[in-house]
Chain A
Amino acid sequence: MLKIEARGYESRFWRYASPVLALLLTGATSGLIFMAMGRPAGVTVYTFLIAPLLQQDGFEALAVKAAPLIMMGVGLSLAYRANVWNIGTDGQFTLGAICGGGIALAFPDAPAYLLFPAMVIAGTLGGMASGGLVAWLRIRFNANEILTSLMFAYITQYLLVYLVTGPWRDPQGFGFPQTALFSDTALAPRLIEDTNVHIGILLAPMIAIGLWFMLEKSLLGFQFRVLGQAPRAAKFAGFRENRLVWIAMLISGGLAGLAGLLEVSGTLGQLTTTLSPGYGFTAIIVAFLGRLNPLGVIPAGLLLALTYLGGDAAQINLGLPNAVTGIFQGILLFYLLGCDILLLNRFRWVPLKVV
């Protein structure tokens, strides 16, 4: 039978090969699922992963989708390294969008050089407030951050629905649950004229690189890594755990808030009842696919963004429900986590002994 055997050291090869193996296995498994649903596997995988890029503005659409995922994934990779399980980034994303969007709606006539920076600050602060509340509840009351952060995601979603269907609803909107369109000065600056390619696409990789330096090259980053891998050692070394929890939640929350603000001011141009197509959970997969390394998060964010575009393409071209994206993402995370056993272990074929 197949036995798992400890290597006694960490395999360098599998450190990079395991996510690749996970991707291949995910592709194969998805193909099998599509076949079971009576669809030709090849065509479906092609529609899902390659066709979206061949469209005229394929790469632009990919970058626009990837930017928020990278920002949120970077924050999460930092938090998860320190064993801080923020899984409610959807809520922080939404609160960022609400705070930033609120500024845009309140001051539509403000000049762009004032309005957009104010929105960025408000959005980031909104996300930080939501994340900070989770940190405070964990530190002060010992409340599990997994549950509180997720509950805040539900609460924030209802707050958004209330605002958009109530006090912030567009009076000229024919009763649709949406706010007025933001004024032109509230829109995120574009990198390319007449496209959706906004400044966030430039910001996301810069943030990733900056946080990579912080995590890998600074004392603070070292403290994060020690806290995650050996909490007792962190205690003996005198690292203040509470301070690290605060920083992890503020950074991951703030980045999610910034991503939310950029999504509404860069792509949507108004607030509606659904702002995030499940970015919160997807960002978790992005963080793991990127090996909890901010630089790895960049390609991981691009790949997961592709699954969103693929889901849309599969819906339009093949009539598959959009939810296929969720299945694909879930399988990918399973394989990513499972394949990591190869880092410290190997499989050996041991013949069964006849007693």
Chain B
Amino acid sequence: MTALLVAFLVSTIAASTPLLLAATGELIVEKVGVLNLGVEGMMLAGAIAGFATANQTGITSLGVLAAMVAGIALSMLFAVVSLTLQANQTATGLALTIFGRGFSALVGAGYVGIPAPTLPKIHLPVLSDIPVLGPVIFGHDILVYLALAILAAVAWCIRSTHLGLILRAVGDSHDAAHALGYAVIPIRYAAVAFGGALAGLAGAYMSLAYTPLWAQDMTAGRGWVAVALVTFSAWRPFWLLIGAWFFGALMYLSLYVQALGVAVPSALLSAVPYIGTVVVLVLISRDARRIRLHRPAMLGRPFQARV
């Protein structure tokens, strides 16, 4: 029983990490009033860039770095079209996802079914050997802790720093922020780049730690779940964490129940996390007033300075 519980907790944390990374990035992007639906594409680009680099060089940290660079590069395509050229953000984000899927499949064609070095799990003397708590809290790879640290930093930044105030001002009223002298478009560029870096990191986690190999479309909609998570959390970092754990648990359980050989067909069990996303989204969105209250007011609106 204890072994089952440990396996459940460890796997849930692992499964929630890519969701948490990508959603934290998207949270900052949406906080400044930009809706980037290209998370799935940036994750895939990060996954293949990280995998290919780690495979070529044999150094996983270089792979992680390459994944972030790839995520930023793709996010800049989105930024130029949607921020500078003021195109519809929904459609531009879709273009980014389509492009990212094609790009990753093209680059990844030569990397299917071959190994790459994986991120090592940390092992702290004494601490990692404590029963239950050891593996659950002290037995993960570095990205798991990084994801939590970034989330904490983002929460602190939004809540109690001057920078956080500027970000929120840009997202809630870009005209007022502009009038105060803040450079709305450059700030949005920076936020989109941050979102790209974290989506790339999420992809690297997928291909270097979670399922350490490359397969076409390997993120399987996780980028979209991350976007849903941001709405689910009502743009609040703490609830982002709860949501990521919830979906992580759901993903693990749908795999675990399949492995148990329960009479329910595996294809239907695989659909459970997606059904869960719809159900949670419906439950959360029901309260339209609360969503309106927390939603960055300029979300999805293009900004053009009028001198």
Contact = CB atoms under 8 A, between A and B. Distances in A.
A143 B278 contact: yes
A327 B267 contact: no
A331 interface: yes
Interface stretch (B52-60, B94-102, B124-132): B94-102
A333 B95 CA distance: 6
Interface string A330-344: 110110011011000
Interface residues of A, number: 45
Interface in A276-292: 281, 284-285, 288
A329 B91 CA distance: 13
B285 interface: yes
Contact of B90 (A85, A148, A155, A322): A85
Interface majority SS on B: helix, strand, loop or mixed? Answer: helix
A20 interface: no
B87 A337 contact: yes
Contacts of A341: 85-87
A323 B37 CA distance: 20
A334 B285 contact: no
A112 B84 CA distance: 56
B87 A141 contact: no
Nearest to A134: B278
Interface stretch (A117-125, A157-165, A179-187): A157-165
B102 A327 contact: yes
Which of A141, A147, A152, A159 counts the most B-chain CB atoms under 10 A from its CB? A147
B133 interface: no
A231 interface: no
A177 B81 CA distance: 42
Nearest to B93: A146
Contacts of A340: 85, 87
Interface in B59-94: 77, 80-82, 84-88, 90-92, 94
B100 to A, nearest CB: 7
A96 B265 CA distance: 22
Interface stretch (B11-19, B20-28, B165-173, B220-228): B220-228
B102 A147 contact: no
Interface string A52-87: 000000000000000000000000000000000101
Nearest to A340: B87
B282 A141 contact: yes
Contacts of A4: 84
B99 A147 contact: no
Given A151-B278, A162-B268, A165-B267, A330 B96 contact: yes
A162 B286 contact: no
Nearest to B98: A330
15 contacts: A141-B286, A146-B90, A152-B278, A154-B271, A158-B267, A158-B271, A281-B97, A321-B109, A323-B106, A326-B102, A327-B106, A329-B98, A334-B77, A337-B85, A337-B87
10 pairs of A and B residues whose beta carbons are closest in the complex: A326-B102, A330-B99, A323-B105, A337-B87, A333-B95, A162-B267, A327-B102, A158-B271, A330-B98, A321-B109
Interface of A: 4, 6, 85, 87, 137, 141-144, 146-148, 150-152, 154-155, 158-159, 161-162, 165-166, 281, 284-285, 288, 320-331, 333-334, 337-338, 340-341
Given A158-B274, A323-B103, 18 more contacts: A87-B94, A141-B285, A146-B37, A148-B282, A151-B274, A151-B275, A152-B278, A154-B274, A158-B267, A166-B267, A326-B106, A329-B98, A329-B102, A330-B103, A333-B98, A333-B99, A337-B81, A337-B85
